[in-house]
Each structure stands twice: as structure tokens, then as C-alpha cells.
Amino acid sequence: MVFSAVNQVPLDKFFVLQLESDTENKPSFRFCLERDDYIPFMKNNVLANWIKNPNSRLPQIETMGYGGILGNERYYSIPYVSGPAGEMKNFINQHAFDLIDQPQFPFGITVFTLRNPKIARLGNINGTFGVSDTHGQTLQTVWELKTKDILYKPHN
């Protein structure tokens, strides 16, 4: 097993999120995160897509989320960075989260490269409206998983 230089923690206890911007003027970001700390955070910070309510009299979803309802897609919070619309919370979809949540390669750090940031209307997973609730009123940045790679260091 290979250990990090910091506190002799095994490398498989970490993972890297690399966010690649799709524009020339926006930099890419890389975050090294400790699995035992960050996976529980992600599991507790889940939003859902907010879609047009077919029974609503409103022609579209309003800025406060009225006219919309909870969808069936789930999104997990990742670190803040500047997205296509400025400083926003960032999210990944269920598929990307499931890959991150799996046990990782024991002799290296897994790097998940994310790309194609899109703006999406997200809301709480209960589909409720309330004070301090997120109910489709806030646009968020959602990233797609591009690749999963291993930064490998042979053990001696």
C-alpha cells in the first residue's frame, strides 16, 4: 500500500476532481479530497432536477421555482468554482457519484475528470417549497464525467 506524505494516509483514501473548462478564458480546477470526509458531505448535499409541472397553469417555471416540480435525477455537491454563469455551486450526476463512491485502486489516487458544465434548475429532493429551501429558484452548474484515471505510484 502506498501512503501520502501527509499523516501517512493511504493514497486510496483520496480522490481528485479535475474540472475542465470548455472555454479558453476559464481555467481548469483540481481538488484533492479525502474520501472519508468528502463522500459523506456529498451524500448529505443532494439536489434533484426541477422540471415543468404539467399540471401548472404557469407557462414556464418562474424564477422562484413555481410552476416546477421535483424530477427523478439526482445531483451531488462538489466544491465551488466559477462556472459558465459565475461563482456557483457545482454538482455531478448520479452516475459520476456512484463511480466516486466505489472502492478505489489501492496503489494510487483516482482522478475523475469532469467537463461540459451546464446550467440547470435544481431543487430539494423532497420537492417542497419553504424558507431556506432550494426549490428550483437557483440555477446551478452541473458537470459531466469525462474520464476516470489512476495516478499510479508503484509500491516497494
The whole-number average pLDDT for the span 105-130 is: 85
CA–CA separation, 37 and 77 (whole Å): 13
Per-residue exposure over 88-126, b if at least 16 CB sit within 10 Å of its own CB, e if not: bbbbbbeebbeebeeebeebbbbbbbbeebeebbbbbee
Residue 35: how many other CB atoms lie within 10 Å: 17
Checking if the pLDDT of 156 tops 70, the result is no
Q: What is the 3-state secondary structure (H, E, C) of 93-133?
A: EHHHHHHHHCCCCCCEEEEEEEEEEEEEEEEECCCCCCCCC
**More confident: 94 or 5:** 94
Write down the pTM of the prediction.
0.80
Q: Which string of DSSP letters, residue by residue, matches 45-85? A: SEEEEEEE-TT-SSSS--TTSTTEEEEEEEEEEEEEEEETT
Query: Mind listing the pLDDT tens digit for each residue in 73-86?
Result: 999 998 766 555 55
Look at residue 30 and give its three-state secondary structure.
Answer: strand
Q: In the chain, what are the domain boundaries? A: 11-22+29-152
Confidence at 51, pLDDT banded by 50, 70, 90? very high
Checking if the pLDDT of 103 tops 70, the result is yes
Q: What is the pLDDT of residue 43?
A: 94
CA–CA separation, 72 and 42 (whole Å): 18
CA–CA separation, 115 and 117 (whole Å): 6
Confidence at 2, pLDDT banded by 50, 70, 90? very low
Confidence at 3, pLDDT banded by 50, 70, 90? very low
Checking if the pLDDT of 88 tops 80, the result is no
What mean pLDDT, rounded, does the chain reach? 81
Residue 4: how many other CB atoms lie within 10 Å: 14
**More confident: 27 or 105:** 105
